[in-house]
Chains A and B, each alone.
With several copies, the nearest count.
Chain A
Amino acid sequence: MIRIKDLSIQLAGFSLDDINLNILDGEFFALMGPTGAGKTLLLEAIAGLIKPRRGKIEIDGKDVTYLPPEKRKIGIVYQDYALFPHLTVLENIRYGLHFHKIKKDEEKKRLNYLADQLKIRPILERYPENLSGGEKQRVALARALIINPKLLLLDEPLSALDPVFREEMKKELKEVHKSHKITFLMVSHDFSDVLSLAGKGAIMNQGRIEQIGDISEIFQKPISHFVADFVGMKNLFKVSFKETKAIINDAIEVETGKTLKNSYGYLAIRPEDIVISKEKLTSSMRNNFKGVVKNILNHGFYHELHIEVEKIIFKALVTKNSIIELRLEKGTTVYLSFKAASIHIL
C-alpha cells in the first residue's frame, strides 16, 4: 500500500500543498486535473526524484520519504517515453537488471515474458529513434516492468499516440495491470481513458487534491464546483433549499429526496441522467418538467439537447436514434425527467 501524508513541495513558481493519498495494492489509480495542476510533480515526488519540503511517503508501511529513487523500486513511464537513445531496445529493457541481483534464469524468463506480452521481440535490436510511438511506449513499459516494481507511475501514457493505436494500447495497459499485479498510478486528462482503465482516482487543481474516491463517484458526485465543471457536469444551478426541495431561480422546484440544512447551494445533474420523452412519463422519476428544445448540437455518436424550462436551460444527451424516433427539432415541446438520486448537491 502507498500512503502519502501531508506531502508539500515548494519549487520555483510552483507548489504542492498537503497531499494525502492512499493507494491499495494492485489498484489502478488515476490522477486527473488540468494542465499545471501538479500531477507530474507528484509522480516525481513519489518516485523520489524531487525532495519534499514536508510530509511523508510510505510504501507497505515503510517510510521511504528520504530514500533515493534507486532504492524505491518504483517504475515510471513518461509521456515522451524517455528511452535511452544510445542503447538498443534490448539494452534499454535490460538496463535495470544490472542494479538488481537477479539470477540469470529469472532474467531470461522475465525478458521472454515481456517481449512476448508486449510484442517487442521483432524490434529488440533496433534503436529508439527508429521506433513508432506505440513501439516506444511498449519498450518504456517493458523497461519499467522488468525489475518488478511495487508501483508503476504512468505520466499521460496514451496522450502522444494516434487514436488508432490508443485503443490498442489501452487494452494492453489493462492486460499488463491484470497480469503483473502491480499497483498503477496514472496521470491523465482524458476522461475516456480514465473511465475505461482506473478504479479509483483523484482530481487535482493548483497543487491540491480536490476530490478522491471511486472514479464513478467522482464523475457522479463531484464535491466542488471545480470538479463538477472539470468532469463535464453540464447542468449546474445555484439554488435555494426549502425542506427536501431545491428551488432554481425561484421558479423550478426540484425534489431532492432528502432534507437539506443549508439555505443556499449548488445543484448538479449529469446530462446523460436526464430522460427525454414526448408525453409526460408515469414512472418512478420524481422530477418532471415541460420544456422546449432550443438547440441540438451534434457530437457524432450522441447529440446534446438544450431544453428551456422556465427560462432555465437544461442540457441532456441523447442518441441519434432518439432524435429520429422522437422527431426532435428546435421548438419541439418535450418532457424531461430525472431521478432524485441523480441530483448532486454541492
Chain B
Amino acid sequence: MKRKKEIFYLVSLISGILIMFFILLPLIKMITQPSISSLKEAIKDKEVIKAISLSLYASGMAALISLIIGTPFAFLLARKDFIGKRFIESVIDLPIVIPHPVVGIAILSVVGKNYWLGEFLYKMGIKVMGSVTGIITVLTFVGMPFYINSVKDGFLSISPRIENISRTLGASMTQTFFRITLPLALKSMLVGIIMCIARAISEFGAVVIVAYHPMVAPVLIYERFEAYGLKYSQPVAVLLIIVCLILFFILRIISLTKKEKAL
C-alpha cells in the first residue's frame, strides 16, 4: 500500500518537475543569453525605449478606459439578474478566445471609410489605422474582459447583506456604493487593472494588423527578429519581459494578500 502511494506521488512530482522546466528553461535561457553590454545598448536605444513607453502608455489607457466604463457595468452584472445576462457575459468573454490577428481585422472592418463609423471618425479627424488611437482601441478590446471579470468577481464576493445593512441605516444606493461597495472592491479593481495592462502589453497579433507603426514593444521585437535574427531581438525581449514580470509580481502580491484575508 505504501508503495502505491509513493508511485502516485512520484507521477505527480515528475510531471510537476517537467512542467517547471518546460516553462522556466526557455525564459531563463533567454534572459541569461544576451550579454550585459547588449542589454545596456538596448536601454540606450531610443527606438526600444520609445516602443516600451508606447506599450506602457497604450496599455495604461486601455486599463483607464476599462476602469471608467467597465466598473459600473461589472456592478450591474454582479447585482442584478435579467434576461439575457448569460448571453452578455458570454459576449464579454469573446475577445479572449478570438485569434489575435482576427481581432485586428475585425476592428479594421468597422473603421474603414466604406462604413458609417469609419466615415464618422474620418470626418472627426480621428485616424485609427497606424495610429496610437488604433493601438489603444485594440488593447482595450483584448484587455477589458479581464478587468470586467475581475471586478465582477470582486463585487460578487461582497455579501449583498452588507449593502442591505447600509441601506437600512439610511444610505441611498449611490451612497452605499461609494462608502461600502467600492472600498471593499478596491483590491479586485487593482487586480483587474493589472491583469488588463498585462494582457494589453503582451498583445502582438492584433496590434500588428491595425498599427505596425508607431511600434509597440512586441512589434519592435518581431521586426528585429525578422530583420536581424534571434540574437538582436533577445535584448529587447528581456527588457519587455522585465516590465511584464514587475506587473506580474505586483499582481501576485495583491491577489495573495487578498486571499489570506479571506481565510
Contacts and interface: CB of A to CB of B under 8 A. Distances in A.
Nearest to A96: B169
B184 interface: yes
A209 interface: no
A143 B165 CA distance: 9
A82 B180 CA distance: 12
Nearest to B165: A82
A70 B164 contact: no
Contacts of A99: 169-171, 175
B165 A12 contact: no
A85 interface: yes
A275 B47 CA distance: 95
B127 interface: no
Interface stretch (A71-79, A157-165, A191-199, A248-256): A71-79
Contacts of A80: 159, 161
Contact of A70 (B1, B161, B179): B1
Interface in A15-66: 44, 47-49
A143 B180 CA distance: 15
B181 to A, nearest CB: 11
Contact of A76 (B5, B168, B183, B261): B168
A209 to B, nearest CB: 23
Interface string A71-109: 110111010101111100000000110111000000000
Contacts of B172: 68, 70
Given A82-B159, A84-B180, A86-B183, A70 B165 contact: no
A82 B170 contact: no
A69 interface: yes
A89 to B, nearest CB: 14
B206 to A, nearest CB: 38
B171 A70 contact: yes
A68 B169 contact: no
B165 A78 contact: yes
Nearest to A149: B168
Interface residues of A, number: 30
A124 B130 CA distance: 59
A98 B81 contact: no
Interface in B158-190: 159, 161-162, 164-173, 175, 179-180, 183-184
Nearest to A79: B161
Interface residues of B, number: 23
B168 A69 contact: yes
A76 B184 contact: no
Give the one of A68, A74, A75 with max B CB within 10 A.
Answer: A68
Prevailing SS type, chain B contact patch: helix
A255 B170 CA distance: 58
Nearest to B261: A129
Contacts of B183: 86
Contacts of B180: 84
A47 B169 CA distance: 11
A98 B175 CA distance: 11
B165 to A, nearest CB: 5
A204 interface: no
A147 interface: yes
B184 A72 contact: no
Contact of B168 (A72, A83, A85, A86): A72
A129 B262 CA distance: 10
Contacts of B184: 85-86
A82 B169 contact: no
Given A74-B168, A95-B169, A100-B170, A68 B161 contact: no
A68 B1 contact: yes
A194 to B, nearest CB: 23
Nearest to B159: A82
Contacts of B1: 68, 70-71
B170 A70 contact: yes
A70 B81 contact: no
Nearest to A99: B170
Contacts of B168: 47-49, 69-70, 72, 74-76, 144, 149
B166 A95 contact: yes
Contact of A69 (B2, B161, B167, B261): B167
A82 B164 CA distance: 9
B170 A12 contact: no
A88 B164 CA distance: 19
Contacts of A86: 183-184
A141 B184 CA distance: 22
Contacts of A82: 159, 161-162, 164-165
Given A47-B164, A78-B165, A82-B164, A96 B170 contact: yes
B165 A147 contact: no
Interface in A250-267: none
Q: Which of B1, B5, B162 has the largest count of A CB atoms less than 10 A from its CB? A: B162
A149 B168 CA distance: 9
A76 B165 contact: yes
11 contacts: A68-B2, A68-B5, A68-B172, A69-B167, A70-B168, A70-B172, A72-B168, A76-B164, A85-B162, A143-B169, A147-B169
Interface of B: 1-2, 5, 81, 159, 161-162, 164-173, 175, 179-180, 183-184, 261
Interface of A: 12, 44, 47-49, 68-72, 74-76, 78, 80, 82-86, 95-96, 98-100, 129, 143-144, 147, 149
Closest CB pairs A-B (n = 6): A99-B170, A96-B169, A69-B167, A82-B161, A70-B170, A49-B164
Given A76-B164, A86-B184, 4 more contacts: A44-B164, A47-B168, A72-B168, A75-B168
